[in-house]
Chain A
Amino acid sequence: MARILVVEDDALLAQGLTSVLTRAGHAVEHAATGKHADLLLAAQKFDLVVLDVGLPGIDGFEVLRRMRLRRSAANVLVLTARDSVDDRVHGLDLGADDYMTKPFSVTEFEARVRALLRRVTTPAAPWSIAGMTVDIAAKRVRIHDQPIDLTPREWALLELFLTRPGRVLSKEQIAESLFTFDERLSPNAIEVYVSRLRTKLEPAGVHIRTVRGFGYIWEAAGD
């Protein structure tokens, strides 16, 4: 369970968001104006803020700016009705953790929320994805209660996928993340590592799909 603040001035959408999050078992507060949101954020601690940009009075960007000034650690999922990418970049520059453009599907929204909350809660307890249990602190993976051996590279790769579920990772991006001082990984090497990890995790119902000519995407049943 997490504490989530929904900042949205449209009553219909706010009600929908609140209901989705409440049903997922979270404690949800709602603010319809930027001013109200700012007051709540100054007084209470939230794990996640779902923040609409187009608010009357103080807009979402300003709410976000003030949050970051207070060094609030809450994750922020920005909702925007605009399509221009500069809005999004602006949001991310100010420290938004993710963004979605309206309208969006409930399923996608739920997935984004799960991913953002995982960031807050990861270090604590081991968690399960499909038939797999991951203990990040102990760097251990079990599939159907059988321990699996992963090399440090494979482990790093798994961590990378876990923090970006449902996101496409390019080979360059993976190479960058797995970069060590002594060697630079070639695209071919990446393919080898991914295919090894894929084979090891397959029994758990986890799929690392290839995006032709580009990279990989992590898909897990029930994620």
Chain B
Amino acid sequence: MTSLSPVRKSVRRRLLIFLTCSLLTLVAGAAAVTYWIAVHAADAAYDRALLDPAVDLSDNIRADGTTARLELSREAQEALMYDQSDKVIFQIRDSRGGIIAGDPALPEAGGVLAGAPMFFDGKHEGQPLRLVALRTPSGYLVQVGETLNKRQRLVRDVLVAELVPTLLIALAAIAVAWIAVTHGLAPLERVRLKLLHRSPQNLEPLDEADAPDELAPAVRALNQLLERARAANAVQQRFLVNSAHQLRTPLAGLQMHMELFLRRQLAPELREEVVRMQSATIRTARLATQLLALANVESASEQRPEPAPVDLKEIADAAAREWVPRALAAGIDLGFDLNTAIVMGDRLLLQQMLSNLVDNALRYTPSSGTVTVRTAMRGGRPCISVEDTGPGIPAWARAKVVERFFRVDGTPGEGSGLGLAIVKEVVDQHGGVLTIEAADGDTGTRVTASFPPAPEPAASTPRV
């Protein structure tokens, strides 16, 4: 893939080039055959007419002892040689080759036998001629030739009559082919659009029944590839889930023992040391939790349940129960402003999303700060936002904080760098938009997830 503009191999173009070339070759072939037939037809038709004056001339040769002459008046000769469109010339030689009458410029035709007139092509004064040579029983050679005007006209007429319809048919065939190719490629376009509008997590096979016979093998091959990708993905997911899961129990044990240890009477330096170890343990446990959450969010997209209406207000309700005690412990005022806002989606994922948003806000908000969770319909879209009075995220970092393991340098706390990545993943899966901005006032951050509006229930009561 080094060329800047790769030459795409268009099936349509290839088909059309092939069709046009073959049709034009066919037309050219037809023209050649028609020409050959026309020439022969013209010869067949006009040769007979050319023989008549030759016979007349031979009938009028009079032998007079050793000399012979043409016994025909000038007027009769002219009448005999008259033609509307062609110039007709003749010549009569005796058996020894001596010219008796007519145009002397004609060469003597050889090999002409009595009783068998010979037709052949020749030249006279630079013009092509059609000639007939006839030998009389007494040995005289009579030759009559004419120019090719009427023969060429006939050939031209035949060619035009034959080729114009053929060319029209060829052009029509190309037009039909263009339409047919477009029509025939429509299923391919459908498959393309389907693939284009797919989420990258969706590894569901394509519907083979939808594809025409010619496309089915390609779709099948693609499905096999998707299946393999899915299997590989599933293995990876399972591994991640299992390892995160397996990590948590020993970490829970470790964390518990450290907490118990810290309850003892300890020398200050020792205590400090253990507190550091404890904070590292908590951070590790947190990372395991987040990895598991991320794996869950991603695997959920694999076998996602049918989206159902979920009230963001209820999601926030569950979060309140989970997070208020922690906020109180940290001296943070965690408050709510909850209005009904219905989203079509997955309740568990949305809970996961909010849980991470609140966790993040609490983590970076200093004691006696404020964190507020809001749910509402804004501009017809259900929205949920979490606003804090923490240090805020610098503008340049706002797009980056949703990347996995990205942390703003110098931020305090024990963030794993996965929280907002999880949030982004959930929002993306719901077709929503995630905005990170400075909160009203100087400091703080407001993270807002806005979702596509849920369709009105079918049996909604009409509003007055």
Contact = CB atoms under 8 A, between A and B. Distances in A.
A105 interface: yes
Interface in B399-438: none
B328 interface: yes
Interface string B247-286: 0111111111101100100000000000000000110010
B293 interface: yes
Interface SS, B side: helix
B404 to A, nearest CB: 17
B333 A217 contact: no
Contacts of A10: 249-250, 252-253
A188 B281 CA distance: 45
A170 B316 CA distance: 11
A59 interface: no
A85 B296 CA distance: 11
Interface residues of A, number: 38
A80 to B, nearest CB: 9
Interface stretch (A11-19, A39-47, A197-205): A11-19
Contacts of B292: 82-83
Task: Count chain B CB atoms within 10 A of each CB in A10, A54, A212 and give the residue with the most.
Answer: A212
B162 interface: no
Interface in A196-222: 209, 211-215, 217, 219
Interface string A78-117: 0101111110000000000000011111110100000000
A211 B251 contact: no
Interface stretch (B22-30, B40-48, B317-325, B440-448): B317-325
Task: Count chain A CB atoms within 10 A of each CB in B260, B296, B324 and give the residue with the most.
Answer: B324
A83 B346 CA distance: 16
A11 B260 CA distance: 16
B289 A83 contact: yes
Interface in A101-137: 101-107, 109
A217 B335 contact: no
A168 interface: yes
A82 B289 CA distance: 8
A212 B334 contact: yes
A10 B256 CA distance: 12
A82 B245 contact: yes
Given A81-B249, A86-B348, A102-B249, A213 B337 contact: yes
Given A10-B252, A79-B252, 10 more contacts: A10-B250, A10-B253, A17-B256, A52-B249, A85-B352, A103-B285, A104-B252, A168-B325, A214-B335, A214-B336
27 contacts: A10-B253, A11-B253, A12-B254, A12-B256, A12-B257, A15-B253, A17-B256, A52-B249, A54-B245, A81-B246, A81-B248, A83-B293, A101-B289, A102-B252, A103-B251, A103-B282, A106-B259, A106-B260, A166-B325, A168-B320, A168-B321, A168-B325, A209-B328, A211-B336, A212-B333, A213-B336, A214-B338
Q: Which 6 A-B pairs have the closest CB atoms?
A: A212-B335, A12-B253, A103-B252, A13-B253, A102-B252, A213-B336
